[in-house]
Structure 1
Amino acid sequence: MKHKCRPLYLALCVAMASSSAFAVDFNGYVRAGTGIAGSGGGLQRGDEFHKNLLGRLGNEFDTYAEIGLGQELFNQDEHSMYLDTMFSMESDGNMEKENTSQSGSGEAEFGIKKAVLKIKGYIPDAPDATIWAGKRFYQRQDVHIIDTKFLNISGYGAGVEGLNAGPGTVSLAVVRGDDDIDDAVSSDDLNIYYLDARYSNLKPWDGAWAEVAMAYAVVNPTDDQDDVDSLDFDNGFMFTAQLSQSFSRGYNKTALQYGTKGLAQNMISQGGGWYDVWSGDVNSAKGYRLINTGDFKVTDNLLIDHVITYGYAQDHGDYVDDENLLSIVMRPTYSWSNYNKTILELGYFKDKKSWTSGSETKTGGEKITLAHAFTVGKEFLSRPELRFYVSYFKDEEGTYFKNGSKDNDIFYGAQFEAWW
């Protein structure tokens, strides 16, 4: 029998075979499943219908895995160094095998998500502060049921976090987050550095916590790119303020964001920090976003999770006047026991873009998903979980389904999701 050891498996083999394997921290996330459409055909990555606006339950059909390996490499005299890595694999669901390949080929893609060294004890007056350098997810803020990171300044960089300052802690970072541009314009990505500052761990009153974040995007074109008129981008700014409150039957979080220049499009794209290099002239762009999310335990067995997003942006592209986005997703869950749940997820969104010509472009949709899950607890984020689902989708402004011939469809499937 022949065995083919792929890159991700090889990394695990090396880590677990090391002499200090028992000291390795092992964590990760995996989802996979299968589904069919009522109009015919199987479902795979790319068949999702506005997942980040209508909700992810019964609306994601890829295979995705993240495997994290971490280890403390040094600890002496209250000085420590910790290596944190993460490998990923994503696929559209090849029926026979998942080969390694370049992106877009339809086969599996392997990558390095994180490779960062974190050190503590090297600042005499701040022994608990962490200095870091490398590639990492940097203090991302997400809403799980729509799979959206509304604050996501991640990439290669360096910084310090956890500096005590008054009632909270300060974190400072410089993160490189280049963006792809049209090959016809330039063969190189546009280099962008983010200057990021956070003031977090604030507790304004009992049961509440708050955070303020500011990101300044510095555009750094090459000399050749600087000579291209269409690559004239100004530095952008994004501000985020969050306030969360826990109470006896759940919690609620409200986030308010403001973005300018190339960061304004995040307010209506469900992005978390990407700089817009695709829409043309964005140097006059500005926008804001309001997010409210949380869960409420109606009874010991009935829990309702929700997220409401309203976003607005203007002048965020050639010939664009402004754009409005409203997205609402509700997920009531009834737990029959610690091991069985019935889940209903309802999603609705509408988007209207106005052009300087006076015309409008509208998109909108609805989703209803009913699922039964075998799980490990009543809590909303209890995992692992195996689900069987049926989803109904309606395209309010077009004919997305069955190769562009129908405005609605029904999907059936099964999926598992796990993290550890």
Structure 2
Amino acid sequence: MRMKHIAAALLALAPAFPAAALDIDQYLRAHAGVNSASGGQTCFGLAGAEAKYRLGNECGVYGELLLGQRLLDSADGQVKGYAMLNLGNRAASSNAARPQGGWDVGLPQAYVAIENMSSLGGATLWAGRRYYKRESMHLTDFMYWNPSGLGGGIENVRVGGLQVSYAFLHDDRETMPNMQVGDTASRHDFQLRGWQVNPGGSLELGLTLIHGNGGEQRHGGSMITVQHRQKNVFGAGDNRLVLQWGTGAGADNGATGDTANGSDVHRLRIMDGWQAQVTPRFGGELLLLWQRDTAHDPAKEKTWASAGGRMSYGVTDHVKLLADIGHDRVAPKHGDARRLTKFTGAVALSSGRRYFDRPELRLFFTHARWNAAARAAAASGDPLSAGGIFGTAFRGSTVGLAFENNW
């Protein structure tokens, strides 16, 4: 049965669940606009950068609906089933190689969990397909730590004051589109969280071990993640300082990357992200990132650096001013460095004046500038390419409306 038929069937069955036992979590964003070259809304991203600054820079429509159903209560925990449907038009896809037009319906999560097991100190056993312990930076939506997939495991086992988790996952082209047809990989994910190392600060450690199952030309790999989470930095907000080191197929974001990568392929990532509601009216985020890829093949070597931030100021209880600026630089082993700078200013009608208050309806203006190297590296049809909507120009703008909500 095709994925969209499964998703449609689950959506049709949702009203049949007892309302008192059904947990619902929803997200929706929608964008529409025009650009300075007399076309529709355009989004700006740099080739080789794994994320883009998203305010006024997300195209199309995307939504998620997560349903959680209590199936059984017992003395040793609660059995729950989860299913997530997502829907997006292809303008919302981050994959520039995909044909535009049409809609995609998916089932990114479908799993069963035994939660709050008293015999395991409140731990959870789970099996299925799920978003597993994802970590992202909101202003770029960059999933820098994302070991999601199909498998099972045990999470949040208390050992002293720590929480220990283990998951075994199976990857193939269905779960990891960058894998070749017929290739599979086995992935072990170990995590330790809650290690209090200073007042308000804790360490979180992750280890991913991957075994490639696609023959002599396919390889495994590993990734180590060290994250320090600090509360109340300068009296307001939270900070995450991240160090990641990956090799081979582990040179990704905690998931299985390219299994054609041998042990010569390495990735080092250092990132710092801060977010805060500084006053009842003023909030914001800041991001600094540096990532270095090395390999025997010069085509796989590059350095990606990114810096940016977003601010929000509540003029009234329901009107906010927003501003976002970000700069990305990608330097390949051979060739000139690519650069993209993007700025967005917006006025928003919101349910509240705080940074994360939603729903929010925004009127935005986005302007981007890039260099010749960025244009040369852009995929055919990309807005930055010579064959794109802006032609041989090195700048472009969009004006539009955006709606975002989560329930």
Q: Distance in 2 between matches of 1:179 and 1:340?
A: 45
Matched, 1:253 2:252: no
Q: Where does residue 67 of structure 1 map in the other structure?
A: 65
Q: Where does residue 378 of structure 2 map in the other structure?
A: none
Q: What aligned pairs does 1:337-352 form with structure 2 within 5 A after superposition?
A: 337-352=316-331
Deviation at 1:385, TM superposition (A): 1.1
Matched, 1:137 2:135: no
Give the structure-2-normalised TM-score: 0.86
Matched, 1:273 2:255: yes
The DSSP-based 3-state class of the residue aligned with 1:22 is helix
**Aligned partner (choices 371, 377, 382) of residue 357 of structure 2:** 382
Deviation at 1:202, TM superposition (A): 2.3
1:339–1:209 CA distance, 2 compared to 1 (3 A):
farther
The DSSP-based 3-state class of the residue aligned with 2:197 is coil
Contact 1:328 1:347 in 2 (8 A): yes
Deviation at 1:410, TM superposition (A): 0.7
Q: Where does residue 395 of structure 1 map in the other structure?
A: 370
Q: Deviations over 1:255-313 (max 9, x none)?
A: 1100111222x3xxxx4534124xx5533111210110112455442223111110111
Q: Where does residue 109 of structure 2 map in the other structure?
A: 114
Q: Distance in 1 between matches of 2:180 and 2:302?
A: 31
- Code of the aligned partner of 2:129: K
Q: Distance in 1 between matches of 2:370 and 2:209?
A: 37
Contact 2:282 2:355 in 1 (8 A): no
Matched, 1:158 2:152: yes
- Code of the aligned partner of 1:200: R
**Aligned partner (choices 169, 172, 197) of residue 178 of structure 1:** 172
**5+ unaligned residues in a row in structure 2: which ranges?**
93-97, 376-383
Q: Distance in 2 between matches of 1:338 and 1:144?
A: 23
Q: Distance in 2 between matches of 1:307 and 1:219?
A: 34
Q: Distance in 1 between matches of 2:300 and 2:12?
A: 54
Deviation at 1:187, TM superposition (A): 7.1
Contact 1:340 1:373 in 2 (8 A): yes
- Code of the aligned partner of 1:307: L
**Aligned partner (choices 275, 290, 298) of residue 295 of structure 1:** 275
Q: Distance in 1 between matches of 2:325 and 2:66?
A: 33
**5+ unaligned residues in a row in structure 1: which ranges?**
95-102
1:411–1:68 CA distance, 2 compared to 1 (3 A):
same
Give the structure-1-normalised TM-score: 0.84
Q: Distance in 2 between matches of 1:146 and 1:252?
A: 16
1:339–1:191 CA distance, 2 compared to 1 (3 A):
same
Deviation at 1:376, TM superposition (A): 1.9
Deviation at 1:398, TM superposition (A): 3.8
**Aligned partner (choices 39, 45, 49) of residue 45 of structure 2:** 49
Matched, 1:263 2:238: no
The DSSP-based 3-state class of the residue aligned with 1:204 is strand
Deviation at 1:205, TM superposition (A): 3.0
- Code of the aligned partner of 1:308: L
Q: Where does residue 229 of structure 2 map in the other structure?
A: 244
Q: Number of aligned pairs? A: 381
1:281–1:86 CA distance, 2 compared to 1 (3 A):
closer
Contact 2:247 2:265 in 1 (8 A): yes
Deviation at 1:28, TM superposition (A): 1.5
Deviation at 1:139, TM superposition (A): 0.4
The DSSP-based 3-state class of the residue aligned with 2:132 is coil
How many percent of aligned residue pairs carry the same amino acid?
24
**Aligned partner (choices 179, 186, 191) of residue 184 of structure 2:** 191
**Aligned partner (choices 202, 205, 218) of residue 212 of structure 1:** 205
- Code of the aligned partner of 2:195: L
What is the Cα-based RMSD across aligned positions, in Å?
Answer: 2.7
Q: Distance in 1 between matches of 2:127 and 2:399?
A: 44
Q: Distance in 2 between matches of 1:373 and 1:380?
A: 11
**Aligned partner (choices 347, 361, 368) of residue 372 of structure 1:** 347
More off after superposition, 376-385 vs 79-88: 376-385
